[in-house]
Structures are given as C-alpha cells and as structure tokens.
Structure 1
Amino acid sequence: MLGEGGYGCVYAGVRRADLLPVAIKHIHRANVEFVLVTKGTQLHSIPKEVFLMHLAGSGPHSEGRNASVSILDWFSVDHEVILVMERPTPAEDLFGYCMEHAPLPEGLAKEITRQLAAALNHLHERRVFHRDIKMDNLLLQDTPSGPRVRLIDFGCGCRVQSEPYSEFSGTVDFAPPEFVLTKRYNAGPTSVWQTGALLYELLRSDEEGEFTTEAWRNGDLACPSGLSQECQDFLEACLRVEPTQRLGLDQLNHHAWLRP
C-alpha cells in the first residue's frame, strides 16, 4: 500500500507484460464522478479523473513523457473503480521528502516551482484544472539529470472554464481567498495561489506557521526568513489576496526569480 484516504487506497504493483511499475488506485464507486464522452458514434461513461488524465496527455506509450503521471487502464469492479497508472520510480512524495529535509534550500524550491509552473501551464493549455496542488500530490522522481516533478491525483480536478466556479473541491486550507470571500474563483488565479502556498510550505522553518489561506489573509504569516529579495517578490506576487493583482499563470516562469 502506498497510501489511503477517504477515497479508498493506492497499491504499488507491476505490469506483467513488461514489469513496468504501476500504481493501482481503488476508489469507492460512490465517490466517483462519471462523465459522458463520445467514441466514434457512441457515448461512453468514464470516471472524470480518467477523462482529465487523458486530456493531460495520457495515451499509448505516454509513460514518463509528461509531468502528469499517465493513466494506463481502468476497471469498474463491484463497488469500486480501479485506476492503473504509471508509478515513477525511484520517487518520493514531496510531503515525505520535506518531512526529512525542510526547509528546502531556495535553489531546490526554485527548481520544483519552475517545473510545477510549466506543468500547470501545460494542463491549462489542455483545459485541465487540477485544483488541489499541494505537497501530497507532487512526486519528486530521482533522475540522472536531477529531481523531476510529477503531478498525481486528479480526483478534485475539472475542465478549465471561462466563467467562475462556485463550488470548491480540494484542500480547504489552500482554497483561494476569493472563494472564501465571495464563493467565486477562476482556474488560473487559483493555480497561482496554490503554487504560492506550496512554495511557502517548502521554504518555511518549523518555527514558522503552517500555511492556510485564512492565516495569510489575516496577516498572521509572513514570507519565510532568509530568502532572496527575488524569491520574496515572487512569493508575495503569487499570494496577493486580490486575484487580479496576482501574477498570471503564464507569467510565473517569466518572473526574475524563475528565469534561468
């Protein structure tokens, strides 16, 4: 078992045909939202999570090609839906990594943020809104060229839309302040807010408070100490309470802190 929660549980496995490492996610059927898709001339009902992962770039021989892990197959069995996904290896979830190494050096936090920003832009271009960016949903894959960020768990995701959303699905502590204040929010500013929340968590010391939207909005938190001025500027630009004043999602990797 790799993990479990209210949704069900995830197991490690291998694909028999070629011994590819896989993650096998068991979800209580009552917790699965289905969507209708057209294949040829027929309508098919598939889990929304599967649909979003396909949009994100899954497909034949897509393993390892995208920041998002690929969906390989899915099954509906009795009271469960089972998803079979690629399992990057060797890899560790970012939460577990930070438990051992926090606070991260600014250089490593910068590389994680740069890769995450690129991944989120790719998702939005494909009209996918992950909506639950946090340490638990990022893997750090160990590769010869250095750590590679891999995005997992699209269970709270949805399609990108032009009009505001009125219902939030994800981690409430990282919900954007505009949802808390007005019950309305948009995809791009939310992804930027959650990128800032994640970065704060990567850089904070044990003495500095855990990030919550409420604590930041109330002024109970400040930028973690010891950061470069460019890093502070980036963090504050992601965490502006007014969404129209935040960096745009497509501007993140053009900020001075993230530019090579």
Structure 2
Amino acid sequence: MGICGSTAIKRDAADAENDTDFSKAYTLDHRAELGTGAFSKVLKGAKRMPDGSSGLAVAVKCISKTAELKAEDIASLQEEVAVLRSIDHPNIIKLYDFFEEKKMYYMVIELMEGGELFERIVKKTFYNEKEARDLIRILLDALAYLHHRNIVHRDLKPENLLLKSPYNDFDIKLADFGFAKQVNGKSLDTQCGTPGYVAPEILKGTKYGSEVDMWSCGVIVYILLGGYPPFHDDNHAILYRKIKAADYTFEPQYWEQVSDDAKDLIRKMLVVNPDSRLTADQALRHPWFLVGDHELISRNLTSTLDTMKKFNARRKFRGTVRGVILTNKMAKGTF
C-alpha cells in the first residue's frame, strides 16, 4: 500500500474531523505529514482524552477509498492489520487501532521519531563490531518471534528498520508489514520484495517460506559490517543473476577489520538453498554471538562508516520506495 498526498486525500482526511469513530478517538495534525504514497498519507496524531486533551502521540496512515484501490490492495491491507494485531514484541512496530469508514481506512500505529537506523549509524563518528552485533541480535530476535508464529515479513531492508527515539540507538522497531503473510511451510509464490534484498527462490519463481527473511537479513548484516550491499548492479538482470548464484565477495579493503566469525555468519545466511540457510534461532546460536564484548569493541569499523555513508547517500538519492512487485519478465523466468 503506497502513501500519497493528493488533493482528494487531503479533503477526505479533513472529513475525519467530523463525527466518525476515528475522529472521536483520535485527532490528526494535518501540518505534520510523515509520509506519502499511492493512495494515502501518514500524519501525526494523538489519542483524544475524556477531558478533551491530547494523549498518546501516534502515527496515522490515512488510506483513501478511491476507485484505483484494487481488491488485492484491500486484501493486503487487511492481511497487514491481521498480522500486526496478532503480534506483540518490543522490536516490532505496534498497531494501536484500525478504522474502516465511508471514505477512508485509518491505521493508528506507533510513532517512530528516531528515523531510519542507517541514517543514525552514518551520523556516528565511531562504530565497532560489537555495536553492529547488538543491532543484528535485536533484528534476529524479532525475526525468530515472527517465524515461530509462522509469519514472514517479505520486505526486510534498511528503510524498514526504524528508531523509536532520537536519543536511543538500540530502541529499534521492524516496520512496514505490507507484504507480511501467514505461511505454512513453503506455501507462498507471490514475487515481491525489493531488488538487492530479495531471496533467490523468489527470483526463481519457486514456492517459498520464512527462509526468504533470513536471506534479506543476511544482506542487512553484510551492509552493517561492510558498509555496502553484497549484490549491486544498476542492471536488474545482472543483479538478479548475482543473487541467484550468491555471487558476492568480502573485498579485503572493506573486510579486513571484520572478524572471521561475523563473515562466517553471513556465509551461512546468504545460502542459495533455503533448506541449508540458517534459521533465526540457529543464527542467534552462532559462535559470533558468544565472542566477548571486549574483543568486538576493539574491532574498529569507522572505515565502514565512510563506505556506508556513500551507500546511504546513493540509496536516498534513488528514493525510498516501497517494496515493489517484481517485473513480469522476471516472473516469466527471463532472468
């Protein structure tokens, strides 16, 4: 589901201030727009208190019921809401409320005021392997929680790792469950995700399950330690061929300061055969997580920061777009 700021949406959002269930429960700040996309916008809001004062600050995704909103978009929205209602984890964004009204859907979600994790990292002046490991442990713990409940996220990427506060580097939340799905084994076949992070089995058009999240997580681990993505090419056909072959390297000028245990974890996550790929539980038991803090603190990744700054600038320049349905060419196996 995209987020957009059309005139029609602005009018409909204003209508919410009339006597609706949503407007009885929440207020919207139309001056505080947090995001935009195809059919909706995200605004800052607040819980209405009985005395008329403002309570908990929230983010509200206002989705316009336009003619362009397809049945599959609505089904995806309903799936996202069902998934978020079924989970409660300190490192997964919370859904507080959901309203369906005459012209709009409203998703009331946890307000994340710290921005993207990667944006915070590149502002650091010092960075070490222990800091990276702490972040990765948090992400793996959230994935283990989801996978135990047979939920697959399907769109893990830097844009979806958000910070709750501008002042805490480790209060991270996994966000954007627009592609999340209940899964029973390898039962999914929809080709979705984001180029560069998508798993080989999705590109090959085979049935898949929660293992796809572990591949995407492996890509994120690689970036957090090396500063750049393992698979990169402006030509998507070449990019997808590299992914399907797990064609990546640890270039010495970027990886000499990273421990062998960390590289071993990546090798065991970026495995083409999903049955041989580490699960989240297995990854959390990897020897890297048993290495003493002092040893990893001594592994200075400040040079990784410089590389990551360049990667992050390119990523932002290309635009933070939502996970995309992969091309028909790919679906037909052209790649």
What is the TM-score with the length of structure 1 in the denominator?
A: 0.79
Match in the other structure for 2:312: none
Match in the other structure for 1:33: 74
Match in the other structure for 1:42: none
Report SS of the residue matched to 1:175: coil
Query: Larger C-alpha radius of gyration, 1 or 2?
Result: 2
Distance 1:75 1:172 in 2: 33
Match in the other structure for 2:269: 238
Report SS of the residue matched to 1:2: strand
Gaps of 5+ in 1: 36-45, 58-64
Report SS of the residue matched to 1:47: helix
Checking the alignment, whether the CA contact within 8 Å between 1:173 and 1:214 is kept in structure 2 is no
Q: 1:75 aligns with which of 88, 93, 99?
A: 99
Distance 1:234 1:73 in 2: 38
**Matched pairs, number:** 241
More helix by share: 2
Q: 2:215 aligns with which of 193, 198, 205?
A: 193
Establish whether residue 49 from structure 1 lines up as the match of residue 56 from structure 2.
Answer: no
C-alpha spacing 1:152/1:21, structure 2 compared with 1 (3 Å): same
Shift of 1:177: 0.5
Distance 2:244 2:126 in 1: 22
Amino acid at match of 1:238: M
Shift of 1:220: 5.3
Q: 1:215 aligns with which of 234, 242, 251?
A: 242
Alignment of 1:1-260 (within 5 A): 1-6=33-38, 8-17=40-49, 19-29=55-65, 30=69, 32-34=73-75, 47-57=78-88, 66-89=90-113, 91-101=114-124, 105-142=128-165, 147-187=170-210, 189-205=211-227, 210=232, 214-218=241-245, 221-223=248-250, 224-225=254-255, 226-259=257-290
Distance 2:105 2:229 in 1: 42
Shift of 1:99: 4.9
Percent identity (aligned): 26
Shift of 1:103: 9.9
Amino acid at match of 1:25: K
Checking the alignment, whether the CA contact within 8 Å between 1:71 and 1:84 is kept in structure 2 is yes
Provide the aligned C-alpha RMSD in A: 3.0
Deviates more, 1:226-235 or 1:162-171: 162-171
Deviates more, 1:102-111 or 1:15-24: 102-111
Gaps of 5+ in 2: 1-32, 234-238, 292-335
Checking the alignment, whether the CA contact within 8 Å between 1:191 and 1:249 is kept in structure 2 is no
Query: Could you list the per-position Cα deviations for residues 1-30 of structure 1 after superposition, in whole angstroms to 9, with x for gaps in the alignment?
Result: 222233532222222325312111123442
